[in-house]
Amino acid sequence: MKTLVFAFMSFFHDLFTVIWMGGLLVTVLSYMPALKDALGAGPQIKKVMMAFQKRQSMWVYISMGGLILTGLLMSNQNPEFEHLFGFGNVYSVTLSIKHILVILMIGITLYRSLILRRPQAVMTPEKEHLSFRLLIINVVIAVAVLFTSGLVAALAKPLSG
């Protein structure tokens, strides 16, 4: 039973990761360039991207909450886990680095959506450029999170039971 519960936690953790971080990667690597190719640079791209981001942000917020919940529940399953932001062994250090990166991503995401793109805000070219740079930074951090996740999985002790 314990293994089945852990499998579901792991599944949902992976699903939330795909929705948020996979969505970031697909947006930057495929969706935005395809939009530019199809529509050219102009107001149509902004309109489509705003509609896309509005819809995607709901899924991102759900994924953030889901990742926090499933991550906390999964952390306690490993005997190498000391505590949140523990630095006493390689597993805990790697997991803490991953958590710090995710917190950075959450901060950037919330800043982009709640500060830069709030409904009453005027999107100047400078703000648009900053928003795009922050998006790229979040993509780079997402790749780092995925790498640290691989390290955490490699360092994890097998689940017993």
Written as six digits, the tokens of 96 are: 């803490």
Residues 6+ apart with CB under 8 A from 143: 25
Residues 6+ apart with CB under 8 A from 73: 9
The reported pLDDT for the residue numbered 159 is 55
The reported pLDDT for the residue numbered 79 is 67
The reported pLDDT for the residue numbered 133 is 95
Residues of the chain with pLDDT under 70: 79, 119, 157-161
The reported pLDDT for the residue numbered 51 is 86
Q: How many angstroms separate the first and last alpha carbons of the chain?
A: 8
Where does residue 77 fall: left (phi above 0), alpha (psi -120 to 50 degrees), or beta otherwise?
A: alpha
Domain range annotation of the chain? 2-155
The reported pLDDT for the residue numbered 15 is 97
Closest alpha carbon to 36 in 129, 28, 113? 28
